């Protein structure tokens, strides 16, 4: 069993990151790689995964899979374990969003967001956790959201999914202790391609950006690299943290 008083050694880590083709997932994969870890990049877009892998170098492996597909996730996680010789850290950063008014929120859209953001997190965590528990060590970090604890109009599906991720994190942490730690980070608005795409669709993108920044007490969006640093802490350095959901939101949930 892992010595719980010692952090995982980054230079020997085998790390799986979902949503690794952009945003927080890409930043997280690159941070672990810079600190000596071997990384497996999981996502739906092979060209973008190859771009990230090329930036990282020889210790990056790409896995094309949709996290909403349980069978594809099972095969991908097993492939990551095979190619890296094990798995020490899994980061669930894959997600989809999009504002939809309640009257326009179709069953299909509801299921898409819940299946990707919540079920996808579960599928990856389940496969990773079963391996880690057998190995006697490991850490899982799930990317939730500040909207797990505060609602937002037009994001009923997203809020529900991210609240589910927080509950999933707590339950897994209790079931997998003491050998596997499970935590979540709950970012506020992040400057990612997905967020920028949503802002660019507004009639006045600059005004939309200013409005979004104005909802954050720190008056700005987070950089993906900042969120990656919080994920790294929970995975590697925060050795007494399990079942926690770290608010990393610039103050959006402080009130």
Reported as a single tens digit per residue, the pLDDT across 216-225 is 999 999 999 9
Model pLDDT, residue 158: 96
> Known catalytic residue: 123?
no
Between 59 and 82, the higher pLDDT residue: 82
Position 14 in a domain: yes
Q: What pLDDT, on the 0 to 100 scale, is given for residue 239?
A: 97
Q: Is 207 within a domain?
A: no
Task: Please report which confidence band the pLDDT of residue 212 belongs to, taking 50, 70 and 90 as the band edges.
Answer: confident
Choose, from 32, 122, 123, 158, the residue flagged as catalytic.
Answer: 158
Residues facing 186 on adjacent strands: 247
pLDDT band at residue 77 using 50, 70 and 90 as cut-offs: very high
In this structure, the chain runs to a length of 255
Average pLDDT, the chain: 93
Q: Is pLDDT of 205 > 90?
A: no
Residue 161 lies in a domain: yes
Token pair for residue 213? 């920044």
What number is the average pLDDT over the span 105-124?
97
Task: With respect to residue 169, please indicate whether it lies within any of the assigned structural domains.
Answer: yes
Please, are residues 41 and 62 in contact by the beta-carbon 8 Å criterion? yes
254 domain residue, yes or no:
no
pLDDT, one tens digit per residue, over 166-187 is: 999 999 999 999 999 999 999 9
Instruction: Name the band, by pLDDT with cuts 50, 70 and 90, for residue 244.
Output: very high
Q: Is the pLDDT of residue 79 over 70?
A: yes
**Residues 42-71, mean pLDDT to the nearest whole number:** 96
Residue 199 lies in a domain: no
210 found inside a domain: no
> What pLDDT, on a 0 to 100 scale, did the predictor assign at position 9?
63
Q: Is residue 198 part of a domain?
A: no
Read out DSSP for 143-206?
E--GGGTS--TT-HHHHHHHHHHHHHHHHHHHHHTTTEEEEEEEE-SB--HHHHHHHHTSSSHH
Q: Is 174 exposed, middle or buried (0-12, 13-18, 19+ CB in 10 A)?
A: exposed
- Report the CATH number at residue 143: 3.40.50.720
The closest alpha carbon to 246, from 115, 125, 142, 152, belongs to 142
Structural contact between residues 145 and 96, judged by C-beta atoms closer than 8 angstroms: no
Domain count along the chain: 1
pLDDT for position 6: 54
In 3D, which of 155, 120, 141 has the Cα closest to residue 44? 120
DSSP label at 223?
P
Nearest alpha-carbon partner for 253 in 227, 217, 214, 209: 217
The domain in which residue 229 lies consists of 10-187+222-247
Report whether pLDDT(1) > 80.
Answer: no
Angle at 188 between CA 124 and CA 127, to 5 degrees: 5
Contact call for residues 226 and 165 (beta carbons, < 8 A)? no
Q: What is the pLDDT of residues 3-22, one digit of tens each?
A: 554 556 666 899 999 999 99
State the pLDDT at residue 185. 98
């Amino acid at each position: 069993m892992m010595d719980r008083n010692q952090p995982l050694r980054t230079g020997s880590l085998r790390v799986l990151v979902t949503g690794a083709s952009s945003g927080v997932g890409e930043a997280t994969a690159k941070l672990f790689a810079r600190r000596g870890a071997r990384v497996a990049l999981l996502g739906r877009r092979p060209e973008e995964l190859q771009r990230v892998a090329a930036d990282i170098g020889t210790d990056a492996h790409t896995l094309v899979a949709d996290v909403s597909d349980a069978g594809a996730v099972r095969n991908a996680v097993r492939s990551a374990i095979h190619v890296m010789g094990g798995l020490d850290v899994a980061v669930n950063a894959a997600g989809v969003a999009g504002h939809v008014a309640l009257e326009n929120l179709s069953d299909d859209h509801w299921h898409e967001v819940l299946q990707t953001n919540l079920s996808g997190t579960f599928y990856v965590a389940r496969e990773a956790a079963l391996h880690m528990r057998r190995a006697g060590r490991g850490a899982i970090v799930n990317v939730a959201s500040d909207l797990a604890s505060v609602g937002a109009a037009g994001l009923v599906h997203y809020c529900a999914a991210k609240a589910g991720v927080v509950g999933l994190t707590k339950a897994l942490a209790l079931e997998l202790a003491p050998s596997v730690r499970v935590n979540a980070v709950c970012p506020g608005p992040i400057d990612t391609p997905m967020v920028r795409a949503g802002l660019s669709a507004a009639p006045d993108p600059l005004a939309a950006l200013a409005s979004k920044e104005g909802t954050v007490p720190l008056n700005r969006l987070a950089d993906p690299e900042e969120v990656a640093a919080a994920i790294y802490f929970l995975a590697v350095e925060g050795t007494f943290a399990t079942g926690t959901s770290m608010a990393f939101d610039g103050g959006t949930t402080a009130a």
